[in-house]
Structure 1
Amino acid sequence: MSKQFASAGDTADKQTSFTEIGDGLWAFTAEGDPNSGIIIGDDSVMVIEAQATPRLARKVIAHVREVTDKPISHLVLTHYHAVRVLGASAYGAPTIIMSDAARGMVMERGQEDWESEFDRFPRLFQGHEEIPGLTWPTTTFTGRMSVHLGKRRVDLMQPGRAHTAGDIVAHVPDAGVMFTGDIVEYRSACYCGDGHFADWPRTLETIRAFDLDAIAPGRGDALMGRDMVGKALDSTADFIRSTYDPVARVALRGGDLAEAMAACRAVCDPKFSDYAIYEHCLPFNVARAHDEARGLDHPRIWTAARDKEMWTALQES
């Protein structure tokens, strides 16, 4: 295991890309850093994911201005994590949309998550002094809601618990495109520290049923074409099962976290060790899988102190 905490040693800037994945639909990607999405309607623009800081958000906005001068009217946050939401102030004052469940998670653990992620991802939080505070939605929903950008309809939905209990996706039915947040990843490790392993594969199958032409995932390259979409759904499901199953076997016989880590590595290292943020995610994933296998359905709150205690214990095992 890497001896440096989480992504503390990842200091190199990432190469960003801006890819058109449908008519008026764009994916901002950054070599395994958090992605954002752009939906251009008749008279305004919806952005999916704010980024971690206003500094990073301005990079997304600059790309938007390369392709349209329409105002940004909506900001959709697929879940509550700090690296996704704390750049919101850079967008002015759009309608900010989350699920009701995600808003509840901001209330319950938003500050703790901010402090935790600040230590985990120091590069992403360069310029953090500009962040005015926690990001709160102006509109929330449960289940499903539709937003009309002129004639273009965007369906926001909760397909099921996965990366968090409050995940939403944005589906653009006229183009067969979906922005999935961290429910789907491509050649990037899934972060499962707030996840629901038992539900996640079912949620992926709900997404698969849309028979999509393209997906903008939470991390990794834009997924163009049904074959690539299918492979990403398959690999994400494989990552989830390959993480949970060996850990659950250890937990159910009373084994500790260090044993669970060794069992998980034996299965996952050969398949996923070259994925982005794999070493970063692994300890948090194992800890959450160990908890879920022992019946803890509601993920425990990660704090900066809990992060370091867990990391140190596993390094010394």
Structure 2
Amino acid sequence: MPDFTEVAPRVWVAHYDWMHVNITLIGGSDGLLMVDTHGSAAQARIVADDVRRLGAGPLTGLVNTHEHWDHHFGNATMVEQFGEMPIHATDWARDHVEESARHTFEMYDGQADHPHRDDILATEVLLPTHTFSSAVQLDLGDRAVELIHPGRGHTAGDLVVRVPDADVLLGGDLIEESDPPFIGDDSWPMEWPLTIDLVLGLMTDRTVVVPGHGQVVDKDFVQDQRVELGIIAETIRDLASRGVPQSQALAEGEWPWERERLASAVRLGYEHLPRSQKRLPLV
């Protein structure tokens, strides 16, 4: 059973084996802020028990780093277990939670043998209640926490959480340690590197970085991941500018990750590039 481990003063992280999800608690004199809530009601009840066992104070607020189900399907359970509280997210994430959840339910409905299928399908979706577009500061009593939308990357609505006095940054799925970051059909691979540049600007050389999935990392890890994302974006740009068709780009490019991870990146990259950066075939 995972324990919340203090990675900086009054900042605790629990790493859960299913999907390598991280749940973070940030403590202030007014209570605890939870960042992300896991991927089903059943799993969230386990998280709630872990919060009680930690005994660091009442849970008084939630943050969803983006609209993907594995980061907010525990919202309703946390409110059920601990009472009404604000749920923070970007405007974009709130506006796309229901659509994203519908796709998740449809996907798992067809996976009869998946061990978590029934738990996922039984989960109630609870939307964020407090949203913002660029940045907002939360008051935890004796501590301020910043929520920042640094730009489009993993989704169009990612946020990062900065705890300035503890020099901690929670990166959501803009940063992943257990696997390379997931570039899905709703990602922005050509903008992601610049978004990470802004995130890096929020760090010092000593910042403790909590990714959405995997082990706690540091600024050097984030810089290395930014380089890889930059190579992917520039490879797409180069292939398109030389007139390589999208259908051949995955095979012709030299990529830092396995090709099977990059099908969406190539398709979206070609779609998102302005016409001036593509060499179009003559007809």
TM-score range, shorter chain: 0.7 to 0.9
Partner of 2:230: 241
Task: Map 1:63-212 to 2 at 5 A.
Answer: 63-68=50-55, 70-92=57-79, 93-116=84-107, 122-123=114-115, 125=117, 127-132=119-124, 134-193=125-184, 194-212=186-204
Q: 1:267-293: CA deviations, max 9, x gaps?
A: 235xxx6xxxx96xx1xx422432232
How large is the RMSD of aligned CA atoms in angstroms? 2.8
Between 242-251 and 149-158, the greater mean CA deviation after superposition: 242-251
4+ residue segments displaced more than 6 Å: 117-121
Q: Alignment length, in residue pairs?
A: 264
Q: Give the match's secondary structure for 2:176.
A: coil
Partner of 2:279: none
Instruction: Give, as a single letter, the amino acid of the residue that structure 2 aligns with 1:218.
Output: G
Distance in 1 (alpha carbons) for counterparts of 2:69 and 2:63: 14
Task: Map 1:282-293 to 2 at 5 A.
Answer: 282=261, 285-293=262-270
Which structure has more relative contact order (CA 8 Å, sep 6+)? It is 1
Distance in 1 (alpha carbons) for counterparts of 2:109 and 2:35: 21
Q: C-alpha displacement at 1:103, in angstroms?
A: 1.5
Q: Give the match's secondary structure for 2:255.
A: helix
Partner of 2:36: 49
Are 1:251 and 1:294, in contact at CA under 8 Å, matched by a contact in 2?
A: no
Q: C-alpha displacement at 1:262, in angstroms?
A: 3.1
Distance in 1 (alpha carbons) for counterparts of 2:232 and 2:117: 28
Distance in 2 (alpha carbons) for counterparts of 1:260 and 1:116: 28
Residue 219 of structure 1 pairs with residue 196 of structure 2: no
Distance in 2 (alpha carbons) for counterparts of 1:119 and 1:78: 27
Instruction: Give, as a single letter, the amino acid of the residue that structure 2 aligns with 1:38.
Output: L
Q: C-alpha displacement at 1:191, in angstroms?
A: 0.9
Q: C-alpha displacement at 1:53, in angstroms?
A: 0.3
Compute the TM-score of the two structures, normalised by the length of structure 2: 0.81
Query: 1:237/1:119 Cα in 2 relative to 1: closer, same or farther (>3 Å)?
Result: farther
Distance in 1 (alpha carbons) for counterparts of 2:98 and 2:40: 20
Q: 1:172-227: CA deviations, max 9, x gaps?
A: 1111111110111224221111221222112212121223420111111012xxxx
Query: 1:85/1:192 Cα in 2 relative to 1: closer, same or farther (>3 Å)?
Result: same
Partner of 2:278: none
Are 1:82 and 1:114, in contact at CA under 8 Å, matched by a contact in 2?
A: no
Distance in 2 (alpha carbons) for counterparts of 1:118 and 1:129: 7
Distance in 2 (alpha carbons) for counterparts of 1:237 and 1:201: 6
Q: 1:235-273: CA deviations, max 9, x gaps?
A: 32133234344445555535344x334346x5235xxx6
